[in-house]
Amino acid sequence: MESRFRASPEFRKLKFFRVKNARLADPYELSQFPSGLEWLAERYAAGEFKRPSIRPSWWVFVNRQRVATYGGTKQWESTAVPKIKQIVADNY
Protein backbone atom coordinates (compact mmCIF):
# COMPACT_ATOMS: atom_id res chain seq x y z
CA MET A 1 0.00 0.00 0.00
CA GLU A 2 2.55 2.56 1.11
CA SER A 3 5.37 1.19 -1.05
CA ARG A 4 3.99 2.49 -4.37
CA PHE A 5 3.64 5.97 -2.93
CA ARG A 6 7.19 5.80 -1.56
CA ALA A 7 8.40 5.13 -5.13
CA SER A 8 6.59 8.18 -6.54
CA PRO A 9 8.28 11.46 -7.55
CA GLU A 10 6.08 13.28 -5.03
CA PHE A 11 7.38 11.19 -2.15
CA ARG A 12 10.94 12.26 -2.93
CA LYS A 13 9.88 15.85 -2.18
CA LEU A 14 8.57 14.97 1.29
CA LYS A 15 10.09 14.35 4.67
CA PHE A 16 8.46 11.18 5.91
CA PHE A 17 8.47 10.26 9.60
CA ARG A 18 6.86 7.35 11.36
CA VAL A 19 5.67 7.61 14.96
CA LYS A 20 4.81 4.18 16.28
CA ASN A 21 3.88 2.94 19.71
CA ALA A 22 3.92 -0.59 21.10
CA ARG A 23 0.13 -0.97 21.38
CA LEU A 24 -2.41 0.81 19.20
CA ALA A 25 -4.56 1.62 22.24
CA ASP A 26 -1.73 3.43 24.01
CA PRO A 27 -1.13 7.16 23.69
CA TYR A 28 2.06 8.30 22.03
CA GLU A 29 5.01 9.08 24.27
CA LEU A 30 7.54 11.78 23.56
CA SER A 31 10.31 9.20 23.19
CA GLN A 32 8.45 7.62 20.25
CA PHE A 33 8.78 10.73 18.08
CA PRO A 34 11.84 10.56 15.82
CA SER A 35 14.53 13.19 15.74
CA GLY A 36 13.31 16.20 13.81
CA LEU A 37 9.78 15.99 15.16
CA GLU A 38 10.37 17.56 18.56
CA TRP A 39 8.04 20.41 17.61
CA LEU A 40 5.24 17.92 16.90
CA ALA A 41 5.93 15.94 20.07
CA GLU A 42 5.64 19.14 22.11
CA ARG A 43 2.37 20.11 20.44
CA TYR A 44 1.00 16.58 20.91
CA ALA A 45 2.01 16.60 24.60
CA ALA A 46 0.32 19.99 25.03
CA GLY A 47 -2.95 18.48 23.77
CA GLU A 48 -3.07 20.23 20.42
CA PHE A 49 -3.43 16.89 18.64
CA LYS A 50 -5.27 13.85 19.93
CA ARG A 51 -4.37 10.20 19.43
CA PRO A 52 -5.87 9.11 16.11
CA SER A 53 -8.98 6.99 16.52
CA ILE A 54 -8.34 5.13 13.27
CA ARG A 55 -5.07 3.32 12.64
CA PRO A 56 -2.99 3.49 10.64
CA SER A 57 -3.27 7.20 10.23
CA TRP A 58 -1.30 9.83 8.37
CA TRP A 59 -0.98 13.49 9.25
CA VAL A 60 0.28 15.83 6.55
CA PHE A 61 1.98 19.07 7.61
CA VAL A 62 3.11 22.02 5.52
CA ASN A 63 5.26 24.54 7.39
CA ARG A 64 4.33 22.82 10.66
CA GLN A 65 0.61 23.31 10.04
CA ARG A 66 -1.54 20.21 9.67
CA VAL A 67 -3.22 20.38 6.28
CA ALA A 68 -4.63 16.86 6.04
CA THR A 69 -5.39 13.77 8.09
CA TYR A 70 -6.09 10.31 6.71
CA GLY A 71 -6.98 7.12 8.52
CA GLY A 72 -7.41 3.47 7.68
CA THR A 73 -6.34 1.55 4.63
CA LYS A 74 -9.49 1.21 2.52
CA GLN A 75 -9.26 4.56 0.75
CA TRP A 76 -5.49 5.03 0.83
CA GLU A 77 -4.98 4.61 -2.94
CA SER A 78 -8.24 6.24 -4.07
CA THR A 79 -8.37 9.20 -1.67
CA ALA A 80 -5.26 9.83 0.43
CA VAL A 81 -2.52 9.38 -2.19
CA PRO A 82 -4.12 11.68 -4.80
CA LYS A 83 -4.75 14.37 -2.19
CA ILE A 84 -1.22 14.14 -0.79
CA LYS A 85 0.18 14.37 -4.33
CA GLN A 86 -1.93 17.50 -4.86
CA ILE A 87 -0.64 19.02 -1.60
CA VAL A 88 2.92 18.37 -2.79
CA ALA A 89 2.18 19.92 -6.19
CA ASP A 90 0.67 23.00 -4.55
CA ASN A 91 3.49 23.52 -2.05
CA TYR A 92 6.78 22.18 -3.43
User: pLDDT tens digits for 20-61?
Assistant: 888 877 888 889 999 999 999 999 999 998 877 888 888 999
Identify the pLDDT of residue 77.
Answer: 85
- The Cα 68–Cα 84 span in angstroms is 8
Bridge partners for 69 per DSSP: 59
For residue 1, pLDDT over 70 is answered with: no
- How many other C-beta atoms can be found within 10 angstroms of the C-beta atom of residue 84? 21
Identify the pLDDT of residue 42.
Answer: 94
For residue 2, pLDDT over 80 is answered with: no
Q: What is the mean pLDDT of the chain?
A: 88
- The Cα 20–Cα 41 span in angstroms is 12
Decide: 50 and 57 in contact? Cβ < 8 Å.
no
Band (5; pLDDT cuts 50, 70, 90): confident
Print the domain residue range for 70: 2-91
Decide: 77 and 2 in contact? Cβ < 8 Å.
no
Number of domains in the chain: 1
